[in-house]
Amino acid sequence: MKINTALILCAGYGKRLNPLTLDTPKPLLKLHNVTMLEKCIKLIKSLGIKKILINSFYLKDHFPKFFKDNNFDIDIDIEIIEDGKEILDTGGGILNLIKHSNEDDFIVFNPDTVWTKEYFDEINKMEKFYFSEKLKNILLLVNKNLSFDKNLKGDFNLENNLITKELDKNYIYIGCQILSKKLFKNETNEKFSISKIWNKLIDTKDLHGYESKQNFYHLTNLEIFKKLKDLWLYQSLNI
């Protein structure tokens, strides 16, 4: 990949997964004995990315300990950056992370999606489209029919790789995007949602999407997490 730095957003409270997340951050919950964060990092490594910046806030002390206690076969420079005195939300969290880098373009992951090697080709193609079309921001989306959690509603519409918001939204943002640092040059608010930037780009027809064809698994809440654990056990036993 041309992109050298990935961001992983790990600051959230994960309240919908209580009581599990009362003492364990959501990215450190396990499916088939592997944490969500490790699944995400393994995909990033396969993409050839050299550096990962991780933000933290809630139960922040768990992340340095996690990396200290686990010897991953991952030759990537990983840096943990705290949000600070308050959680910065998704947009503020990204802004705080990119301040620690001289790069211009970043790939951003939410670790509550189950990231697997099946996403490798799609993310590479998404990156090529991003640079070939000189885009500002591109999101990885999936048709809601492919979502394991059937209660999830669509976030956007997608046509010819252009994202819109109509009444009937058929596409879900699955937690991977590529963006330019330039989008944040006029941002002064420390705490804000990334949707603030997305909405501005939609208004100017500058927010793009790439459609994933993979089944989408996401740690939405405690009920879905339990179903996913059962599913992973079922698949691992080849029943």
CA distance 235 to 239: 7
CB 107 within 8 A of CB 6: yes
Phi, psi of 41 (to 5 degrees): -65, -40
Three-state DSSP state, 157: strand
Q: Taking the domains of the chain in order of start, what are their residue ranges?
A: 5-236
CA quadruple 56, 62, 63, 65: dihedral, nearest 10:
150
Phi, psi of 224 (to 5 degrees): -65, -40
Beta-carbon contacts of 206 under 8 Å, excluding residues fewer than 6 positions away, are 135, 136, 137
Residue 53, H or E segment = strand 51-56
Q: Residue 77 gets which letter from DSSP?
A: E
State the sign of the Cα–Cα–Cα–Cα dihedral 95, 100, 103, 109.
negative
CA distance 15 to 189: 24
Instruction: Kindly state the tokens that stand for 125.
Output: 């193609």
Beta strands in 57-136 (DSSP E): 77-82, 105-109
> Strand order of the sheet with strand 51-56?
77-82, 51-56, 5-9, 105-109, 171-180, 137-143, 208-212, 162-164, 157-159
Q: Which of 62, 86, 117 is nearest to 190 (CA)?
A: 86
CA distance 48 to 131: 17
Which one is the CATH code of 5-236: 3.40.50.1110, 3.40.50.360, 3.90.550.10, 3.30.70.3340? 3.90.550.10
Maximal C-alpha separation, the chain:
54
State the pLDDT at residue 74.
64
- Each residue's pLDDT expressed in tens, for the chain with a length of 239 residues: 899 999 999 999 999 999 999 999 999 999 988 999 999 999 999 999 999 999 999 999 999 999 888 766 666 788 999 999 999 999 999 999 999 999 999 999 999 999 999 999 999 999 999 999 999 999 999 999 999 999 999 999 999 999 998 878 999 999 999 999 999 998 887 899 999 999 999 999 999 999 999 999 999 999 999 999 888 765 654 43
Entry pTM: 0.94
Phi, psi of 178 (to 5 degrees): -115, 135
CA dist 1 → 46, 56, 87, 105, 121 (Å): 10, 26, 31, 11, 11
